[in-house]
Amino acid sequence: MKKLVTALAGIILVTSLNAQTLEEIVKKYSAANKYDQISALSTIKITGKMSMMGMEMPMELWMKKPDKIKSVTNFNGQEIVSAFDGTKGYAVNPMTGSTEPVEMSPEQIKQIENNNLFQDYLANYLKEGKLTLLGDDNVNGKPVFKIEAALDGGNKIDLFVDKDKYLILKTSTTINQGGMSMTADSYMTDYTENNGVFIPMRTTTSANGMEFTIAFDKVEINVPMDDSIFTIKQ
């Protein structure tokens, strides 16, 4: 009996030593993604393209510390724009039949903010109490931590963090709109450091039977950016 108790105590000790808290995982994620380097920058501009159904659409991301962000995608000579100036967000999408700017909802603003490299959104979610460690999983054969982020409106994101390098290998976003639910799975690859910015250079997303890829080509830092860039004229 004494040996059994000793053995069980040893197993519990090893398990507790190997187990990592959500706080530890997020801290290692922030370090792996080199947010300390990014915090020393003032602006980031990323150029790339979106590929979907045999079409390639040039795109740009503009970011200014701490919370301004703008994305521009060119489709057949027309620009699809989303911009957040730190207070309000507006979007222009000619695909809807109108070129008038529309104010973004809080949920839409949160989505575009998640692309802002000056915002460590995983650490922010942790501070807001929106993260839950669901356990272990695997992505393409790699062991990962599965973390759920609860969003406003009953939406959620499952994040799959590599246990070895603490990089996000996959996200699974579930959005509920108008009584309908849609899930989009995104896979991040080709993590590369560019001028102090460490990001996945390629992201492939599938949703509702459709697939598109975003590939970054160029990363520029400390490019002069006037605040007016992030304001859409109404």
Full domain range(s) for residue 108: 19-230
Residue appearing with tokens 């976003």:
173
Ramachandran class of 77: left when φ > 0, alpha when ψ lies in -120 to 50, beta otherwise: left
Amino acid at 198: F
Question: Is residue 6 a part of any domain in this protein?
Answer: no
Question: Is residue 83 a part of any domain in this protein?
Answer: yes
CATH number of the structural domain spanning residue 79: 2.50.20.10
Cα–Cα distance for residue pair 116/119, rounded to 1 Å: 6
- pLDDT tens for the chain, 234 residues: list them: 544 444 444 444 333 334 689 999 999 999 999 999 999 999 999 999 999 988 999 999 999 999 999 999 999 889 999 999 999 999 999 888 888 899 988 878 888 888 899 999 999 999 999 999 999 999 999 999 999 999 877 788 999 999 999 999 999 988 776 667 788 999 999 999 999 899 999 999 998 888 999 999 999 999 999 999 998 765
Question: Is residue 8 a part of any domain in this protein?
Answer: no
